[in-house]
Amino acid sequence: MSSSRYHSRPAALATSRSKRPAAFASCSSTRRRRRTADAAAATGDSSLWASLHEDLVGQIAWRVLAGDLRDYIRFRAVCPNWRSSTACPRGRGIVDRRFHPRRWMLLPEGHGLHPGHSKLRGFVRFFNLSTGAFVRVHLPLFRDHCVLDSIDGILLLQRDHDTAIRLLHPFTGDILDFPPLETLLRYVHPMLLGSKWYYIRSIRAASLNVSVDEDVSLMILGAPGMLQVAFATSGEQQWKVSSWYLKDIFSELSFQGKIYVVCEIGKSTGERILQIDPPELEGTEPWVPPPKLIAKCPVNKPGKISFYYLVECNSEVLVVAISSGIDRKILVYRLADLMLGRTVLMTCIDGNAIFIGGRNLCVRSKAFPILVGDTIVFYYREGHCFAEYHLSRGTLLPALDRSIIANAVSSPNAVSSPRSIIYHINTCCYRQIWNKGQIKFLGKTAKWRVKGKWRIGVNLASEAMYLFYAFFFMCWLAAAN
C-alpha cells in the first residue's frame, strides 16, 4: 500500500478546515469574545473585593471568626489584602481565646486506630459538633504523645518519655509546655492502692486561662483519689496543688476558664454546684481560691433519686437532672436561673441534642440528620441501648434500631462498618476510650499496645479497679472526718 495516502491527510484536513462555513467561524469568535469578557468581568469583580477598606475587611473577618476558625482561615486566604488586614492566628492560637477551635472534637476512628497509629500515617481527623464538617490534619507529634483531654478544642497532651504536659492547637500548630505529671505523684494519698499514675493521668476536667499579660495557666481536676486541684503556668517546672480538698464530685465542667462541679456537701442538704476560679498569679505565691457555692440543685421528690450533670450549650451552662429507675424523667435547668433561686424548666434547647457521659457534649442536630432536636441522649442501662428523651414530649425512645448488647454479640472482636455517628459522639464523652481510637460499647476494649509503660493510668482496663480503690478511700476519708 502506498504511503502517499497518509502523507496527504494533513493537507486534506487543513483544506476541509479552511472550507468551514462562515456561520460556524463567527459563532466561534463570538464565544471567544464572550469568554474574554467574562474573564475581564471576573477580574474586575475580584479586584473590587480585594480593594475593600481594611477596616471593613477586619469587621467582616471577626464576624466570620465568631462562626468558625476554619472559615476565618479560608477568609484570610482569599487575597493578600485580606490577609494583611486581619490578625494571623498562628502564634496566637492558644493565648487568644478568639482563635480557639471551640466546637471541634478529635474523632475516635475505631478499630484501635489511636492518634499516632502507623496506619494513619500521622493524620488525625476532627469533626465539628455544630456544623458536622470533617477535616483531616497532619500531626506527626502523636508518635510520642497521647491526648488526655480537649479544652475548647485545644488538645491537652502528655509527652511519653518525660510525662510533660503540652497544649496543642490542632489547626495552627501552636504548642505551650507545662510541667511533667510525675511532679504530682507525691500528692496522691498513700492509702490508695495500685499505680498512682492513674489518679493523675485520668483527667476529669481541665481549664486554661489567659491573663492580661498573656500568661497561660492550666488547672486540672484529676481522678477521685486526687483530692486537690493541680495548677501551673506555661514554662514552669513543677505543678502546684490547692490548699483545700474536694470530694464527692458527681459531675464536672470546664467553662470559660473556670471549673464547675456538682458535689454532695451533706446528706441532708443534697447536691450543690461549686465554682472553681482560675489561679491567682499575682503576688509572691500563686494559689487557687477555694470553691464557691453558687447554686443548689432542685430537691428530689420523696422516693426519687436524680443525678445531676453539667453541660455547655449555646455558651451557657445547663444542669440536666436524670431520675433513676425504669420510668426515667429528665429535667433541664439553666445554671443562671438556679443561681437566682429559680427552678425554670427548659423544654427546648434550640434544636440541640445533649450527650450524657463522663464528659457531656452538646451537638447540633441539624448537622447530623440521625439526631433528633431537643433531646437528651444517654446509655439506657435497663434497655441496653442508646435512648433519647424528648424534652417537650416527655417521651423516651431508642436512638438506634439495634441494642448495644446485640451489636456486641454479633461483633465481639471487630466493629462492623459503617456505623452510626452516635457511637462516635458518645465515645467522645469517655476520655479513656476516646484517646485510644476505640468505640465505646462496640468491639473489644484493648490496652495501649504501644508506649504502655509511659501510658499506665490512661488504660481503660484498669479504670474499674482504680475506681473501686478510690471509692473505698473516699469512704475511709469520710469516716475519718
* For range 269-287, the mean pLDDT: 88
Look at 148-152, 403-407, 446-450 and tell me which has the smallest mean pLDDT. 403-407
Judged against a pLDDT cut of 80, whether residue 190 lies above it is answered with: no
What mean pLDDT is reported for the chain? Answer: 83
What percent of the chain is modeled with pLDDT above 90?
56
What pLDDT shows up at residue 37? 52
* Extents of the domains making up the chain: 51-88, 101-296+447-480
Encode 254-273: b = buried (16+ Cβ within 10 Å), e = exposed.
bbebbbbbbbeeeeeeebbb
Rounded CA-CA distance 472/481 in Å is: 14
What pLDDT shows up at residue 374? 97
The tens digit of pLDDT for each residue in 325-372 reads 777 899 999 999 999 999 999 999 999 999 999 899 999 999 999 999
Rounded CA-CA distance 365/373 in Å is: 5
Nearest CA to 428 among 440, 445, 446?
Answer: 440
Judged against a pLDDT cut of 60, whether residue 13 lies above it is answered with: no
What pLDDT shows up at residue 300? 75
Per the model's pLDDT, the better-predicted residue between 305 and 311 turns out to be: 311
What percent of the chain is modeled with pLDDT above 70?
77
Give residue 23's pLDDT band: very low, low, confident or very high (50, 70, 90): very low
- H or E stretch including 98? none
Give residue 189's pLDDT band: very low, low, confident or very high (50, 70, 90): confident
Look at 86-100, 181-195, 422-436, 460-474 and tell me which has the smallest mean pLDDT. 460-474
Nearest CA to 452 among 212, 228, 197, 140?
Answer: 197
Rounded CA-CA distance 198/51 in Å is: 57
